Amino acid sequence: MEEEPGSAGKKVILDYRKSLQGFSFRGMRETGSKIVRAGRVSASAGNGRIKLIKGNWNNDFLDEVDFFPNQKIKDQVDCLSGSYDKLAHYASYSVIPTAVGQEVNSYWQGA
């Protein structure tokens, strides 16, 4: 979860960590401006590599993305760029996911 700067951000992360004992959880400080962080996912979207699942939230989401950064609310853009970066970083590890109970074979095989 993104850790906001300052002592309030540290307290929020600590509270979540206590609530989520037994789960893998940590706070991460973001670096760089929101605009720079959004640029990476924006480039992928511009190249057709981002798809939306149809839902009643699409118009609100697209309005926020279209007007970014010239609006007050940027939460969905922050979530999108943070998620994209985490998934892109994870994918760079050359991890081959496997189906539970079939750890010998990748679930990508035979697809």
Q: Which residues have CB under 8 Å from 1's CB, separation 6+?
A: 13, 16, 25, 26, 27, 28
Query: Which of the four pLDDT bands, split at 50, 70 and 90, describes residue 5?
Result: confident
- Angle in degrees, CA 102, 105, 109, rounded to 5: 125
User: Model pTM?
Assistant: 0.66
Q: Does the pLDDT of residue 88 top 80, yes or no?
A: yes
pLDDT digits (tens, 9 = 90+) for 28-48: 888 888 999 999 999 999 999
